[in-house]
Amino acid sequence: MVERTLSIVKPDAVKAGHTGDIISMFERAGLKVAALKMLHLTPDEAKGFYIVHKERPFYGDLTKFMSEGPIVVLVLEGEDAIKMVRDIMGATNPKNAAPGTIRALFAADIERNAVHGSDSEKSAAYEIPFFFPSIEIMGL
Ligand code: UDP
Ligand code: MG
């Protein structure tokens, strides 16, 4: 099924200059960029994005990290895009990330792990409109 998913190049990877490499990895896998922008979240905006994790012990540190600097957010579209992006990202903890994945290449640790990708259709349906009104998403 053709799907759309939300991905984020996180502040650590933007700062380190990996934005282009990460987007290239998605494009080389056949995914299409349907929307793209750079922005700097406030702590409250980061809390809203990660609201599903609000009871987790890492919520405070995570939302602080996600608001420490600019991020690049993108909508990716393609056949099985949600799973494809998750596969290209690699495991949350880079110690467990398969060789050649974004997190194996660029993540420092389980928190500062370079990239986000929606984990399900339900997550994508919350996360895409969090950042993009429909007029900013290209029909491909
Ligand atoms: N995270 C963390 N500590 C943990 C688990 C997650 O700091 O023990 C951070 C990490 O940046 C991760 C994000 O919280 O990417 C969201 O966690 P999730 O379990 O949804 O991982 P993901 O879907 O990003 O692989
Ligand atoms: Mg997740």
Provide the CA 5 distance to its chain's centre, in angstroms. Answer: 9
Beta bridge partners of 37: 73
Instruction: Write down the domain spans for the chain.
Output: 2-133
Q: Is 24 exposed, middle or buried (0-12, 13-18, 19+ CB in 10 A)?
A: exposed
| Residue 140 alpha carbon to ligand 1 centre in Å | 30
- Res. 139 pLDDT band, cuts 50 70 90: confident
- Res. 91 pLDDT band, cuts 50 70 90: very high
Atom of ligand 1 nearest to the CA of 111: 7
- Does the CB atom of residue 119 touch ligand 1 within 6 A? yes
SS3 call for 66: helix
Looking at residue 98, what is its pLDDT?
Answer: 98
Question: pLDDT over 90 for what percent of the chain?
Answer: 99
> Is the pLDDT score of 140 beyond 80?
no
State the pTM of this model: 0.98
Q: pLDDT for 31-84, tens place per residue? A: 999 999 999 999 999 999 999 999 999 999 999 999 999 999 999 999 999 999
Nearest ligand, CA 92 = 1
- Does the CB atom of residue 92 touch ligand 1 within 6 A? yes
Beta bridge partners of 78: 3
Q: pLDDT for 122-137, tens place per residue? A: 999 999 999 999 999 9
Handedness of CA 72, 1, 104, 57 (dihedral sign): positive
Active-site residue among 18, 40, 53, 116? Answer: 116
Provide the CA 97 distance to its chain's centre, in angstroms. Answer: 16
| Residue 40 known to be catalytic | no
The residue whose C-alpha atom lies closest to atom 10 belonging to ligand 1 is 111
| Residue 53 alpha carbon to ligand 1 centre in Å | 9
The whole-number average pLDDT for the span 7-13 is: 99
- Give the DSSP per-residue string, 17-56: T-HHHHHHHHHHTTPEEEEEEEE---HHHHHHHTGGGTTS
| Angle, alpha carbons 86-138-45 (nearest 5°) | 60
Ligand 1: which of 41, 49, 62, 95 to mutate, judged by most atoms within 8 Å of the beta carbon? Answer: 62
What's the topology of domain 2-133? Answer: Alpha-Beta Plaits (3.30.70)
